[in-house]
Chains A and B, each alone.
Chain A
């Protein structure tokens, strides 16, 4: 089952075309890696999947993105509900300047949950799922900005999990972290595959190989090659893919 399908997707920032006729199908409960040199449109593509580009003035989009068979750019789509189901983790950890607890409870509260008992339960479950519970259980009331970078990023993952999404979009979630935090997050992402579909942008080829099922290679706004990760890294179909993954450019 494909949970997300992009067809002939184009995107312009004013006059700059950042995505050119992208066709991608993302199967449910898999990890898809997006790779490619800086500025090739990975983040842009990721953000089209939960309409985060709506926030940027001057963006124009053509083509189609379907989530669970429904066009997400159709008029009348509930963007708030869409973003609840397709969550996002950013490159730089961005916890809100409030307590650890309030950070995780932010999403559920946004979607109308007020019961203390229920919130406590959601917060604990999300923090456990993001493998950070043991580190923060004694400091739930402390400001989240006091955590280390790696902890902040796992907190942001917990925050995203708290609204029970189906899909998790991650934009280079480990690029600002040290190697130990990075491997913790990789482990976490792999374990999340059981319940969630994950699309992850990464600059790190080893990371793509380690964790992803399929890989999409972008170059200058085009999708050059998309397919099974192992096959792509052992036997790329395209010369340009080979050039990139063997480190000849990018």
Chain B
């Protein structure tokens, strides 16, 4: 091939485009760095042992976020305990048992639509249904159940997708040995899609960590330290909700930034977990 020098105009054009791209990358990178840096710089100095280990009290003069940490853990656990069996069960039924593919398609479509709905709508519905109609009041339980509805489509869809990746030949092999449907699912299909279920779980945890709108409506913003067992029936703010309350209603920006920094670190950890789990299962399945 002959080597023609590029015409000057074309050279200039390529140069300009390249520069524009560099500028957008630089801006995006700078924004992220600034945001993360700003929150960490303002937040980390305010994370003290006292903040993490006490509750807010006018008597003791403390502002602690221990109740919010515990509420977050409660809500995550309560939500997962309900949403996992529901979502995984629904996915198994739809993929392995359901006969009418039209209805399955409709449900899948509905689930996909549901997972795109703004969370404040879940909050509104949760408040009307769980808090008022079911008479649960504003409580962690009502909040968890609202989050269950919110995360159900995600868990169901991720499980379904990973059920579909289990090779049909595994099922045939097991059926050919005389295994019944449930045994095939339990011993051959489910182990092959644990990664999908775990990924769905981690996504859900990330979403719960970041959720505020739906919980403001349903779980409230109490800062009291709840007991281990009555915890679920009392109102309480998760870290994210507490962030909103401290910043917007009490003007405690130091606390708000401390929470923000903690949430940021947690989010990074959750994403890291998701990546590690993915890697682990990829290695396990390839040998």
Q: Is there a chain B Cβ closer than 8 Å to A77's Cβ? A: no
Q: When the two chains form their complex, are residues A96 and B188 in contact, meaning their CB atoms are under 8 A apart? A: yes
- Interfacial chain A residues near B173, Cβ < 8 Å: 90, 94-96, 156, 159
- Residues facing A in B258-287 (CB within 8 A) are 285-287
Q: Is there a chain B Cβ closer than 8 Å to A111's Cβ? A: yes
Q: When the two chains form their complex, are residues B178 and A163 in contact, meaning their CB atoms are under 8 A apart? A: yes
Q: When the two chains form their complex, are residues B172 and A52 in contact, meaning their CB atoms are under 8 A apart? A: yes
Show 29 residue pairs from A and B whose CB-CB distance is below 8 angstroms, ordered by the A residue. A52-B172, A52-B176, A80-B178, A80-B180, A81-B178, A83-B175, A83-B177, A83-B178, A87-B176, A88-B172, A90-B169, A90-B173, A94-B172, A96-B170, A96-B174, A97-B170, A97-B192, A107-B178, A110-B174, A110-B178, A110-B179, A110-B183, A111-B178, A143-B287, A156-B173, A159-B173, A160-B176, A160-B177, A163-B178
- Interfacial chain B residues near A163, Cβ < 8 Å: 177-178
Q: Is there a chain B Cβ closer than 8 Å to A39's Cβ? A: no
- Residues facing A in B169-208 (CB within 8 A) are 169-180, 183, 187-188, 191-192
Cα-based distance from A53 to B173 in the complex (angstroms): 13
Cα-based distance from A160 to B176 in the complex (angstroms): 8
- Which of the residues A83, A92, A97 comes within 8 Å of B176, measured between beta carbons? A83
Q: Is there a chain B Cβ closer than 8 Å to A32's Cβ? A: no
Q: How far is the CB of B194 from chain A (nearest CB, A)?
A: 11
The count of A-to-B residue pairs whose CB atoms sit within 8 angstroms is 67
List residues of B whose CB falls within 8 A of some A CB: 99, 167, 169-180, 183, 187-188, 191-192, 285-287
Per-position 1/0 for A181-194, Cβ under 8 A of B = 00000000000000
Q: How far is the CB of B174 from chain A (nearest CB, A)?
A: 7
- Which of the residues A50, A94, A110, A160 comes within 8 Å of B170, measured between beta carbons? A94
Q: Is there a chain B Cβ closer than 8 Å to A180's Cβ? A: no
Q: When the two chains form their complex, are residues A80 and B287 in contact, meaning their CB atoms are under 8 A apart? A: no
Q: Which residue of chain B lies nearest to A93 when distances are taken between CB atoms in the complex?
A: B169
Knowing that A57-B99, A94-B172, A97-B285 touch, tell me 15 more A-B residue pairs with CB under 8 angstroms: A50-B176, A81-B178, A83-B175, A83-B178, A88-B176, A90-B173, A90-B176, A92-B169, A94-B167, A97-B170, A97-B192, A110-B177, A146-B287, A159-B173, A159-B177
Q: When the two chains form their complex, are residues A55 and B178 in contact, meaning their CB atoms are under 8 A apart? A: no
Cα-based distance from A110 to B179 in the complex (angstroms): 6
Cα-based distance from A70 to B172 in the complex (angstroms): 24
Q: How far is the CB of A157 from chain B (nearest CB, A)?
A: 12
List 4 tightest A-B contacts by C-beta distance, closest first.
A94-B169, A88-B176, A107-B177, A83-B178
Q: Is there a chain B Cβ closer than 8 Å to A84's Cβ? A: yes
Cα-based distance from A156 to B176 in the complex (angstroms): 11
Q: Which residue of chain B lies nearest to A156 when distances are taken between CB atoms in the complex?
A: B173
- Interfacial chain A residues near B178, Cβ < 8 Å: 79-84, 107, 110-111, 163
- Interfacial chain A residues near B285, Cβ < 8 Å: 97
Q: How far is the CB of A57 from chain B (nearest CB, A)?
A: 7
Per-position 1/0 for A69-83, Cβ under 8 A of B = 000000000011111
Q: Is there a chain B Cβ closer than 8 Å to A209's Cβ? A: no
- Interfacial chain A residues near B179, Cβ < 8 Å: 80, 106, 110
Cα-based distance from A110 to B188 in the complex (angstroms): 12
Q: How far is the CB of B190 from chain A (nearest CB, A)?
A: 12
Q: Which residue of chain A lies nearest to B188 when distances are taken between CB atoms in the complex?
A: A96
- Which of the residues B169, B171, B177, B192 comes within 8 Å of A106, measured between beta carbons? B177
Q: How far is the CB of B166 from chain A (nearest CB, A)?
A: 9
Q: Which residue of chain B lies nearest to A143 when distances are taken between CB atoms in the complex?
A: B287
Q: Which residue of chain B lies nearest to A102 when distances are taken between CB atoms in the complex?
A: B187
Q: How far is the CB of A161 from chain B (nearest CB, A)?
A: 11
Cα-based distance from A59 to B180 in the complex (angstroms): 19
Q: Is there a chain B Cβ closer than 8 Å to A140's Cβ? A: no
Q: Is there a chain B Cβ closer than 8 Å to A136's Cβ? A: no
Q: How far is the CB of B29 from chain A (nearest CB, A)?
A: 41
Q: Which residue of chain A lies nearest to B99 when distances are taken between CB atoms in the complex?
A: A57
Cα-based distance from A55 to B168 in the complex (angstroms): 11
Cα-based distance from A94 to B179 in the complex (angstroms): 15
Cα-based distance from A233 to B286 in the complex (angstroms): 44
Q: How far is the CB of B168 from chain A (nearest CB, A)?
A: 9
Q: When the two chains form their complex, are residues B169 and A84 in contact, meaning their CB atoms are under 8 A apart? A: no
Q: Which residue of chain B lies nearest to A82 when distances are taken between CB atoms in the complex?
A: B178
Q: Is there a chain B Cβ closer than 8 Å to A61's Cβ? A: no
- Interfacial chain A residues near B192, Cβ < 8 Å: 97
Q: Is there a chain B Cβ closer than 8 Å to A145's Cβ? A: yes
Cα-based distance from A106 to B177 in the complex (angstroms): 8
